[in-house]
Amino acid sequence: MELQPKDTGAAEGGDTVHGKVAEFMSRVADEAQLDQNKPNVEDILSKLTEEDRRPYQNVFLQECEMICVLIKEIIRSLAEIELANKGELTMTEQMETLMQNIFINKVPPSWVKLSFQTTRALGSWLDNIKQRLEQLNSWKEDPTKEVYITFINRLYNPQSFLTAVKQVTARRDTVELNKLYIQTEV
């Protein structure tokens, strides 16, 4: 993909860089609706009192904060590309790199820095963000309740969630935290 001509594909029935970028932008805006589904951390905090902030709530708040930073960067960088394509901004090297990465279905480096660890292609990565947002948005409606089902593979830091499980168990059963461990049986 990286070695193919980028702009001659349209004449031969293939996709151009600008076409692929426009397609991805519409996916972000219409299908994933990142901006609309982004959790509002201030709103969530207003629903929580100091007594409500237990280990699970802290984990989910951290997750919301991290995904909000990522979404903000995705939307900002795509908006810059849109302005550059209209001629309102000068196309920079970072924008061109972003466009090339979208063309080859690779997560751009500027997004990888703020993202969860992954080896997914860009399309699958966007689907995964959508799933992560669904999990966080189901929790944010009533952040005081404990979540009964959590997909730990949809967390930035799954270890913090597992530590929260141990903390809650230690408090409930009055057991020393350092004597607890998580065991998985397949």
What is the structure's pLDDT at 10?
46
Q: Look at residue 49 and tell me whether its pLDDT is greater than 70.
A: yes
Read off the pLDDT of residues 110-122 as tens digits, 9 standing for 90 and up. Answer: 999 999 999 999 9
Domains of the chain are 17-179 (1.20.1270.280)
Amino acid residing at 167: Q
Q: Look at residue 107 and tell me whether its pLDDT is greater than 60.
A: yes
Query: What's the mean pLDDT in 42-70?
Result: 93
pTM: 0.87
Read off the pLDDT of residues 151-180 as tens digits, 9 standing for 90 and up. Answer: 999 999 999 999 999 999 999 999 999 999
The single residue listed with the structure tokens 């904060």 is 65
What is the structure's pLDDT at 147?
82
Inter-residue contact 97 to 109 (CB < 8 Å): yes
* Ramachandran region, residue 87 (left: φ > 0; alpha: ψ -120 to 50; beta: rest): left
